[in-house]
Chain A
Amino acid sequence: MPVVPPEKLVKLQQQGEGIRNICILAHVDHGKTSLTDALIATNGIISPKLAGKIRYLDSRPDEQLRGITMESSAISLYFSLLRRNAPEAKPEQKEYLINLIDSPGHIDFSSEVSTASRLCDGAVVLVDAVEGVCSQTVTVLRQTWVEKLRPLLVINKMDRLITELKLSPSEAYTHLSKLLEQVNAVMGSFALGERMEDDLRWRERIDEKVTAAAAAKDQDAGDDAKAASKGRKTSIAEDEEGLDTTSTPADYEEKEDEDIYFEPERNNVIFSSAIDGWAFTPRQFAGLYEKKLGIKRHVLEKVLWGDFYLDPKTKRILGPKHLKGRHLKPMFVQLVLEQIWAVYEATLGGPNQKGDRVLLEKITKGLNLSIPAHIMRSKDPKALLSAVFSAWLPLSTALLVSVVEQLPNPPSAQEARIPALLEASPGAEHIDSKIKDAMTHSNASISEPVVAYVSKMVSIPESELPINKRRGGMLSADEARELGRKKRAEIAKAQALANGDADVASVTDALSSAAIGDEEEIPGGKIEEEPEQDDDPEHLIGFARLFSGTLTVGDEVYVLPPKYTPARPHALPQPRKVTITALYLLMGRSLESLNTVPAGNIVGIAGLEGAILKNGTICSQLEGAPNLSSTTAISTNVPIVRVALEPAFPGDLDKMIRGLRLLVQADPAVLYEQLESGEHVICTAGELHLERCLKDLRERFAKCDIQAGEAIVPYREGIVRTEEMNAPRDPALGRGRVEGVTTSKQVTIKLRVIPLPAPVTEFLVKHTGAVKRLYSERKAQDEERVTPSGGNGTADDGLEDIIEQDIEADDATGEGGHNLTMAEFKHRLSEAFAEDKADKDVWNGVVEKIAAFGPRRVGPNVLIDLTEDQLCGKFLREEHEATADQAEPTDKHTSTFADKVAYAFQLGTYQGPLCGEPVQGVAVFLEDICINVPEDEAAQNVGRLTGEIIRTTRDSIRQGFLDWSPRILLAMYSCEIQASAEVLGRVYGVISRRGGRIVSESLLEPSTNFTILALLPVAESFGFSDEIRQRTSGFAAPQLVFEGFEMLDEDPYWVPTTEEELEDLGEKADRENVAKRYVDKVRLRKGLMIDRKVVESAEKQKTLKR
């Protein structure tokens, strides 16, 4: 095959009808990349002999090493087809450009699949003939369904049926038809799901209509039921064509669902073996047998697959009814499979696995194939096999012909897909009709608006960019001459330098540097090459599909972020305008520069660096532009594996952060966040994905050694009132009440710690935002009071605005938490207090006395001021009150100390007594502060007393805390798992072993999958996804979302005390105290005291000297 020059591809890009954008999807190891290899070989990029082994598109070293694809990559291929419009007409050559995207199959990289499928119009779905439908096969089929891609089924690895399973042709036929049924069942379930949804929607609509006419309702319901049952029948009997679904009597209009199924007679199924390089469709065989059997081609196409038999005598085709007890093989077996089996027998079979020469001769003669003599003589039966097949049933022809024939070209595909796509995008009604039109018709003229969807950013080292390299084969004559001249000059120079005795090496050096260098003058090409290798800056290139218009280098376009909506085009953040600096034809690992690209193509765009984070839309105008990137279903799996990263050498931190930023842009499935604790956490889709990310970071983005570790898990501490608690420390004072005296005995602080009622805690946790806002409002008010201005309203408004923007910015927490006014907040808080019936008198009127929230002034703990003259000041005071309590110069000193107490309260709740984690759900009643020494003495000692008071108060709070039954609260993930019924038990096993709890379980209606909702402690989630995938062989896909804190109902300090308990559990409490284990883990990390024995049993220590 001759190498196809890129110019030809560029030319083909202009013809919309000749383009096919396809992606290859399958479960891991079903042969996507091998199949792609065979296609690439047709363009002469790799040798046909190596096809299937070299895995050209797996350009990363680790991809090659592991033998799996990790990144989707695209390549443009040229294909020409001789087509006869009429049977006797002269064949007419048509040229096609096939933009092919190879996608990874491993579940960790399924986001790559979704980004790839959004760019394409058609999909080639591979299924392993032996393994059949696997978990990812279902996923990719759903992807094609959701994205409305026209699928083409390839049953790959047919050779395994022959060589591994050693099936006979008829057995293989049954196997294949079963496999096909499986695939169609999957497709059917999608169709059914959608149909039922439609049905439901339709029914709702009807319901609305019919509310007036109740009488008609019954009738309708009956019809619906009928319709539904009919629908199910169709899906079950998908291979039989007999059932006509459109004839249902109901008003509901059935959608045609025949075209979603894979049927060989409709030519959307290909049988192939990528490793041996062959593939066929029934149509090909129909063509072969047309003359031989004298049966019309189109008839043969219909009957070649299925229960049809060839009468050996009459040469007529019989249906199963006319078999009359005769034992005939189906036509597919007889005419197709047996031939292929024969070839295998002739080459690989035979007496000593060396093939059967005689049979081979016969076959080659019969098929009219000419096999080169040197191959015929060769000892390698594999070579012979592939030679025969490449002459007889070349893979590329079968596949590419089907692709060209079956899959739509961009204009027609866009016509079908775009309206729905736009409908689903936000603010659809505001999209400019001109753009809509241009996109639907894939209008490529320059005057049309440009719309492109960038699915991901690919990071390419600078040396790989085509500006910096050029291959010899792609030079035009002029350039070659230019190069030759330069080369000669270079040689002359080298010779001059070496004083005439230039050795061979220097000449070759000069040659290579000239070959690599571009048109600009590079006197020292070799010198420049070296540093480039050292630090190769990474460039981000957008992987994009152009939907309309023509994109030219130097164009200025708007980049629309994923949150953009055409309803408010100028909303913050304002879409940026960037200039396209270069366009590239994607050719696997290499790129070719382009000048312009018309609509319907897949292209690499440079110049978007910094403008697009992960994906986005490019549009030539701002108003009325569609937002293609926010449409849902793009990221099918939320990243779930969380690790904290740290550079091996602390000085490399900056490098690492820079690298992480690049990584996040280059990989859509990675999330990066910097936590409050200073940790750099990345979330990846799986362990394998994590490994790839780390490798990328180490070698490309950060270029420093990076260690990954478990992220620090947050905890909370709380207290509860339980039946059996230890006796209060000081019975005279009552539980939780502490009298703290400072070390100098000058100040006594009386306070009481009480657990907050659960609804109050919940309320406070939920409305942290509101507290925060109230706090900042109060601060603003204070400031206003200080500045003598009466304009209360304006400042408030400004604040309101800011908050409003806040709400828009993070809709994650935006469930009304922010916009509570002071009065409302107070009202609801007191309502929450009122819910607690037990000690009403304690909580009565408490809201008015709240002095502070803590920790950090916003937390779910309250400091309640019970002192006589309200030392701490009220937090929740109304504005009019504010002026009143300003004048309180009364007892300056005690109020000074009150500040300290309030501060100590913040400290005490920030680090609880259990393991120094924040406290939750505690009320501290400050009952009294009394100063035991004369005023002025205290005033002199303010400096010293400050520290003492803070310490005393903090310790008293802790003491009071421990007087109750302490509890540790675990951070929880809510975990949604979709699993099939078979693996349900294993899922439960994994969850319960990790201390999780099942919340609910429901059947996902049309499919047989279950949705399980569980809560899982964050502390136990390390390695969870990996374990669950392993245990369920990939049939369960968990998603973890941080849920909140949940109390672990076990006192970490509990030890058996009563006789009964001692009898049951023994002195050491055989059962592990889970709460204590968590507490000890944290204490160990923080270096706090742990009452754990260094040596458990003293006499069993090793006595020998080491």
Chain B
Amino acid sequence: MPVGINQPSNQIRLTNVSLVRIKRGKKRYEIACYKNKVLEYRSGIETDLDNVLQIHNVFLNVSKGAVAPHADLQKSFPKMSLDEIILEILQKGELQVGEKERNAQLDRVHNEVVGIVSGKLVDPKTKRVYTTGMIEKALDQLSSQGAQAAQHEKAHPSNASGTSTPTSGEERGKPTWTGVVTTRSAKSQALDAMKALIAHQPIPVARARMRLRITCPTSIAKQAVKVAPKSGDESADGDEKAKGTVKDRILSYVEQTESQEASGDEWEVIGFVEPGDFKLLSDFVGTQTKGRARIEVLNTAVIYEGD
């Protein structure tokens, strides 16, 4: 068969290939890698380059077999050898994530999210945590519910726009859960999941409370709340708040007080605080008392500890 004639029989097709591309100086360069390997290489698990690269060369177009001309490469990657260019592309280029890698990543994020959630949610009655399995099932239930609701809306678009709009609006107001994604951090997804679980209550759950000890000099505790110096533009709002004393404000954050006592010039309260309020509380204490009051975290998540 004459060489050079492009016929189906003498084409060499690359299989099992995953491309990593980079754009440099208006040119697009590609390298041919194995599937499911590039991310591993980037995270440093795979160290053997031969296990990542299919062909030790840089292409303009892998599927057509167009190797990048040396001149172009020199222009785009000045003073770099071919090996260095390949490494550069491997590290910085955009890539297709392989199916298995994606699945592994998703699994990992999912497990992490479930782990975080199960550590922070408790049964409000017994203050016991749920197992990861239970949380997983509850989240599954939520996501399938969400999918159903979406389908329902699609099926009856007219209905949704019609009389039932307010109810569906309410529904939409509730945070929903549709499963994990790999693009966001596990922690923020876990927060979403928690919100969704608390809103829908497929199982009775509540955030585990933080247990804090707040100590404050009595003199300050009795003071009226000062308007925050910075928030001059919010003065109207500030004035309203200024009616209570510092003590009252602190107590308003505390959901349930365990003990509260004033001895000498120190006022102390131990109580449970919803974790979402903690930041507000500590900001408030920090600004109002100029650091003379202290918040001590006794426990970040109060859960039942059997012994």
Residues of A within 8 A of B (CB): 644, 646, 648-651, 653, 674-679, 709, 712, 772, 783, 786-788, 856, 892-893, 896, 899, 903, 907, 939-940, 942-943, 946, 1084-1095, 1097-1099, 1101, 1103
Residues 65 to 112 of chain B near chain A (Cβ within 8 Å): 98, 100-101, 104, 107-112
CA distance A1099 to B202 in the complex (A): 46
Residues 217 to 266 of chain B near chain A (Cβ within 8 Å): 259, 261, 263, 266
Q: Which residues of chain B are within 8 angstroms of A1092 by Cβ–Cβ distance?
A: 45
Are B34 and A1099 in touch, CB under 8 angstroms?
A: yes
Q: Is B296 an interface residue (CB 8 A)?
A: yes
CA distance A772 to B307 in the complex (A): 11
Complex partner residue of A1087 from B16, B35, B113, B134, CB under 8 angstroms: B113
Are A1101 and B35 in touch, CB under 8 angstroms?
A: yes
Are A650 and B202 in touch, CB under 8 angstroms?
A: yes
Q: Which residues of chain B are within 8 angstroms of A1084 by Cβ–Cβ distance?
A: 111
Q: Which residues of chain A are within 8 angstroms of B35 by Cβ–Cβ distance?
A: 1095, 1098, 1101
Query: Which of B21-29, B147-155, B168-176, B282-290 has 4 or more CB atoms under 8 Å from chain A?
Result: B282-290
Are A892 and B291 in touch, CB under 8 angstroms?
A: yes
Q: Which residues of chain B are within 8 angstroms of A646 by Cβ–Cβ distance?
A: 131, 133-134, 137
Q: Is B141 an interface residue (CB 8 A)?
A: yes
Are B291 and A939 in touch, CB under 8 angstroms?
A: yes
Q: Is B178 an interface residue (CB 8 A)?
A: no
Q: Is B120 an interface residue (CB 8 A)?
A: no
Residues 19 to 51 of chain B near chain A (Cβ within 8 Å): 34-37, 40, 43-46, 51
**Whose C-beta in chain A lies nearest to the C-beta of B102?**
A1094
Q: Is B115 an interface residue (CB 8 A)?
A: yes
Residues 195 to 211 of chain B near chain A (Cβ within 8 Å): 202-203
Are B108 and A1094 in touch, CB under 8 angstroms?
A: no
**Whose C-beta in chain A lies nearest to the C-beta of B213?**
A899
- Nearest-Cβ distance from residue A235 to partner chain B, whole angstroms: 49
Complex partner residue of B52 from A1086, A1088, A1094, A1098, CB under 8 angstroms: A1098
Complex partner residue of A943 from B263, B283, B305, CB under 8 angstroms: B283
Are B133 and A709 in touch, CB under 8 angstroms?
A: yes
Residues of B within 8 A of A (CB): 15-16, 34-37, 40, 43-46, 51-52, 98, 100-101, 104, 107-115, 118, 128-134, 137-138, 141, 186, 202-203, 259, 261, 263, 266, 268, 279, 282-283, 286, 290-292, 294, 296-297, 300, 303-307
Are A644 and B112 in touch, CB under 8 angstroms?
A: no
Complex partner residue of B101 from A783, A788, A1094, A1097, CB under 8 angstroms: A1094
Are B108 and A674 in touch, CB under 8 angstroms?
A: no
CA distance A25 to B170 in the complex (A): 66
Q: Which residues of chain B are within 8 angstroms of A678 by Cβ–Cβ distance?
A: 118, 128-131, 134
- Nearest-Cβ distance from residue B172 to partner chain A, whole angstroms: 23
> Which of B16, B107, B259 gathers most chain A CB within 10 Å?
B16
Are A903 and B297 in touch, CB under 8 angstroms?
A: yes
Are B290 and A939 in touch, CB under 8 angstroms?
A: yes
Q: Which residues of chain B are within 8 angstroms of A1103 by Cβ–Cβ distance?
A: 15-16
Complex partner residue of A653 from B51, B203, B294, B305, CB under 8 angstroms: B203
Are A946 and B282 in touch, CB under 8 angstroms?
A: yes
Q: Which residues of chain B are within 8 angstroms of A907 by Cβ–Cβ distance?
A: 300
Are B261 and A786 in touch, CB under 8 angstroms?
A: yes
- Nearest-Cβ distance from residue B28 to partner chain A, whole angstroms: 24
Are B109 and A899 in touch, CB under 8 angstroms?
A: no
- Nearest-Cβ distance from residue B17 to partner chain A, whole angstroms: 9
Are B115 and A899 in touch, CB under 8 angstroms?
A: no
CA distance A1093 to B34 in the complex (A): 13
Are A1094 and B104 in touch, CB under 8 angstroms?
A: yes
Are A1098 and B282 in touch, CB under 8 angstroms?
A: no
Are A943 and B282 in touch, CB under 8 angstroms?
A: yes
Are B112 and A1086 in touch, CB under 8 angstroms?
A: yes
- Nearest-Cβ distance from residue A753 to partner chain B, whole angstroms: 22
Given contacts A709-B133, A1086-B115, contact A651 B202 (CB under 8 A): yes
Q: Which residues of chain A are within 8 angstroms of B297 by Cβ–Cβ distance?
A: 903
Are B304 and A788 in touch, CB under 8 angstroms?
A: no
Are A1093 and B46 in touch, CB under 8 angstroms?
A: yes
CA distance A1097 to B46 in the complex (A): 10
- Nearest-Cβ distance from residue B37 to partner chain A, whole angstroms: 5
**Whose C-beta in chain B lies nearest to the C-beta of A895?**
B294
Given contacts A1097-B51, A1099-B34, contact A650 B203 (CB under 8 A): yes
**Whose C-beta in chain B lies nearest to the C-beta of A653?**
B203
- Nearest-Cβ distance from residue A135 to partner chain B, whole angstroms: 37
Q: Which residues of chain A are within 8 angstroms of B305 by Cβ–Cβ distance?
A: 676, 856
CA distance A678 to B118 in the complex (A): 9
Q: Which residues of chain B are within 8 angstroms of A786 by Cβ–Cβ distance?
A: 261, 263, 266, 268
**Whose C-beta in chain A lies nearest to the C-beta of B44?**
A1091
Q: A899-B296, A1084-B111, A1101-B16 are in contact. List 6 more A-B contacts (CB 8 A).
A: A650-B203, A676-B306, A772-B307, A892-B292, A1087-B186, A1090-B108
- Nearest-Cβ distance from residue B95 to partner chain A, whole angstroms: 14
- Nearest-Cβ distance from residue A930 to partner chain B, whole angstroms: 18
**Whose C-beta in chain B lies nearest to the C-beta of A711?**
B131
Are A1087 and B40 in touch, CB under 8 angstroms?
A: no
Q: Which residues of chain B are within 8 angstroms of A772 by Cβ–Cβ distance?
A: 307
Q: Which residues of chain A are within 8 angstroms of B186 by Cβ–Cβ distance?
A: 1087
- Nearest-Cβ distance from residue B279 to partner chain A, whole angstroms: 8
Q: Which residues of chain A are within 8 angstroms of B261 by Cβ–Cβ distance?
A: 786-787
Q: Which residues of chain A are within 8 angstroms of B51 by Cβ–Cβ distance?
A: 1097-1099
Q: Which residues of chain B are within 8 angstroms of A1090 by Cβ–Cβ distance?
A: 108
Given contacts A674-B128, A946-B282, contact A1087 B114 (CB under 8 A): yes
Q: Which residues of chain B are within 8 angstroms of A946 by Cβ–Cβ distance?
A: 282
- Nearest-Cβ distance from residue A805 to partner chain B, whole angstroms: 15
Given contacts A650-B138, A651-B202, A1094-B104, contact A1088 B16 (CB under 8 A): no
Q: Which residues of chain B are within 8 angstroms of A893 by Cβ–Cβ distance?
A: 291
CA distance A651 to B142 in the complex (A): 12
Q: Which residues of chain B are within 8 angstroms of A1087 by Cβ–Cβ distance?
A: 107-115, 186
Q: Which residues of chain B are within 8 angstroms of A1085 by Cβ–Cβ distance?
A: 111, 115, 132
Given contacts A650-B141, A678-B128, A899-B294, contact A1101 B34 (CB under 8 A): yes
Q: Which residues of chain A are within 8 angstroms of B300 by Cβ–Cβ distance?
A: 907
- Nearest-Cβ distance from residue A432 to partner chain B, whole angstroms: 38
- Nearest-Cβ distance from residue B47 to partner chain A, whole angstroms: 10
Are B263 and A788 in touch, CB under 8 angstroms?
A: yes
Are A1094 and B286 in touch, CB under 8 angstroms?
A: no
- Nearest-Cβ distance from residue B121 to partner chain A, whole angstroms: 10
- Nearest-Cβ distance from residue A869 to partner chain B, whole angstroms: 17
CA distance A676 to B129 in the complex (A): 8
Are B15 and A1093 in touch, CB under 8 angstroms?
A: no
**Whose C-beta in chain B lies nearest to the C-beta of A903?**
B297
Q: Which residues of chain B are within 8 angstroms of A651 by Cβ–Cβ distance?
A: 202-203
- Nearest-Cβ distance from residue B33 to partner chain A, whole angstroms: 8
**Whose C-beta in chain B lies nearest to the C-beta of A1101?**
B16
Q: Which residues of chain A are within 8 angstroms of B290 by Cβ–Cβ distance?
A: 939-940
CA distance A646 to B112 in the complex (A): 20
CA distance A209 to B101 in the complex (A): 81
> Which of A940, A1086, A1094 gathers most chain B CB within 10 Å?
A1094
Q: Which residues of chain A are within 8 angstroms of B203 by Cβ–Cβ distance?
A: 650-651, 653
Q: Which residues of chain B are within 8 angstroms of A1095 by Cβ–Cβ distance?
A: 34-37, 40, 98, 100
26 contacts between A and B (CB under 8 A): A646-B131, A646-B133, A646-B137, A650-B137, A676-B129, A676-B306, A786-B268, A856-B305, A903-B296, A903-B297, A939-B291, A940-B290, A943-B283, A1085-B115, A1086-B112, A1087-B107, A1087-B108, A1087-B109, A1087-B111, A1092-B45, A1094-B98, A1094-B100, A1094-B101, A1095-B35, A1097-B51, A1101-B36
CA distance A650 to B205 in the complex (A): 11
Complex partner residue of B111 from A649, A787, A1086, CB under 8 angstroms: A1086
Are B286 and A940 in touch, CB under 8 angstroms?
A: yes
CA distance A1085 to B110 in the complex (A): 10
Q: Which residues of chain A are within 8 angstroms of B266 by Cβ–Cβ distance?
A: 786
Q: Which residues of chain A are within 8 angstroms of B114 by Cβ–Cβ distance?
A: 1087
CA distance A674 to B305 in the complex (A): 11
CA distance A678 to B266 in the complex (A): 39
Q: Which 6 A-B pairs have the closest CB atoms?
A: A1087-B111, A1087-B112, A1098-B34, A939-B291, A1103-B15, A1103-B16
